[in-house]
Amino acid sequence: MTAANPVFVSIDTTAVDTARTLAQGLAGLVGGVKLGLEFFVAQGPAGVRAVLGGDSEVPFFLDLKLHDIPNTVAGGVRAALPLTPAFMTIHTSGGPAMMRAAAEAAAAGGAKRPRILGVTVLTSLDDGDLGAVGQSTPVAGQVERLARLARDCGLDGVVCSPNEVAALRAACGPDFILMVPGIRPAWAAVNDQKRIMTPAQAMAAGASHLVIGRPITAEPDPADAARRINAELGL
């Protein structure tokens, strides 16, 4: 596959060997690799380098969802720059000052800077869940509010569910990155995601990139699963 492949495979494990085997087995079949909190807490930067290789050109999405005071989040972004992630995540609910600090810290990476994506509303949450934590706004309204705020604070894009893609593309413009989890091919199990869509549907709605984990990594043959998704996307 070429770099036009929008799929970032989410490798959710604490084991370096497992992550490396998956990454190597999917090389050329996905557009990039996402490593998140579970792996990073267990293995740190050394683990990332072990999985991707020191001179890897594979686009890398570091999904830590940073959320703290502005100075701390900016420091976290700067600390990750040597890994040259293509994307990093922060929580938009951290507020404008935190988002601006993260964007400014990322700019220090120059041409290889990470694109900072804001997490809006987690795809495991629905309207009832927001109400339980005191946010009476429906999910769709909260996502759009946070996405507009992220854009205005200098973030490159947001992470959002497939159901919000079309509205956010209209609200935030053609160049705003929409990184979309909650992707489930018709043949895959829903698991704990509540706001889902097939890969082709999400791309048609305006997604920039798709995050797909268990429908690839939990299959007996992950490479075959990736090929099936690529076929659905016409790749």
Average pLDDT in the 111-139 region? 86
Residue-number span of the structural domain to which 52 is assigned: 7-232
Rg (CA), the chain: 17
Catalytic choice (34, 65, 112, 194): 65
List Cα–Cα distances, 22 to 32, 33, 57, 115, 216, in angstroms. 12, 10, 16, 24, 10
Q: Is a pLDDT exceeding 70 seen at residue 226?
A: yes
Contacts of 137 (CB under 8 A, 6+ apart): 130, 145
Q: What angle do CA 18, 182, 130 make, to 5 degrees?
A: 120
CA 186 to CA 6: how far, in whole Å? 18
Average pLDDT in the 119-130 region? 83
Asked whether residue 161 is assigned to any structural domain, the reply reads yes
Percent of the chain with pLDDT over 70: 93
Q: Which residue has the tokens 């969802």?
A: 65
Q: Would you call 34 a catalytic residue per the annotation?
A: no
Asked whether residue 1 is assigned to any structural domain, the reply reads no
Average pLDDT in the 62-84 region? 97
Asked whether residue 61 is assigned to any structural domain, the reply reads yes
For residue 177, what are the β-bridge partners? 157
Asked whether residue 2 is assigned to any structural domain, the reply reads no
Asked whether residue 59 is assigned to any structural domain, the reply reads yes
pLDDT the model gives residue 139: 84
pLDDT the model gives residue 131: 80
Q: What is the CATH number of the domain that holds 133?
A: 3.20.20.70
Q: Is a pLDDT exceeding 80 seen at residue 123?
A: no
Q: What are phi and psi of 8, to 5 degrees?
A: -105, 120
pLDDT the model gives residue 6: 96
Number of domains composing the chain: 1
Q: What is the pLDDT of residues 185-224, one digit of tens each?
A: 876 655 544 556 899 999 999 999 999 999 999 999 999 9
pLDDT the model gives residue 2: 38
Contacts of 64 (CB under 8 A, 6+ apart): 36, 37, 40, 76, 80, 88, 89
Q: Among 31-40, 70-79, 131-140, 165-174, where is mean pLDDT lowest?
A: 131-140
CB 52: neighbour CB atoms within 10 A? Answer: 22
